[in-house]
Amino acid sequence: MLMENRLRVLRAERGWSQQDLAERLEVSRQSVNAIETGKYDPSLPLAFRVAELFAMPIEDIFVSPSRRSSKAI
């Protein structure tokens, strides 16, 4: 279920800690960590909130699973 994403990079660019990002998204820090490390896929509403927070389209943050570079699960 690993969905590659650029969350950590984008977060670092703005100098935000996981806790900062969590507060802005109104979720827990554990959620942010789980999403960044690919342990958990966010729901659609949450993915949209992330995209709106970074002012980017969703596809620029999360790599669609069908477009993954590696075809292994």
The reply to whether 64 sits near another protein by the rule CB under 8 A is no
Which of 3, 10, 27, 53 forms a contact with another protein (CB under 8 A)?
Answer: 27
CA distances from 68 to 3, 72, 73 (A): 8, 9, 10
Nearest residue (CB) to another protein, 4 versus 29: 29
The reply to whether 50 sits near another protein by the rule CB under 8 A is no
Listed ranges 23-31, 49-57, 59-67: which one lies at the site for another protein (CB under 8 A): 23-31
Cβ within 8 Å of residue 5, ≥6 positions away = 35, 36, 38, 61, 62, 63
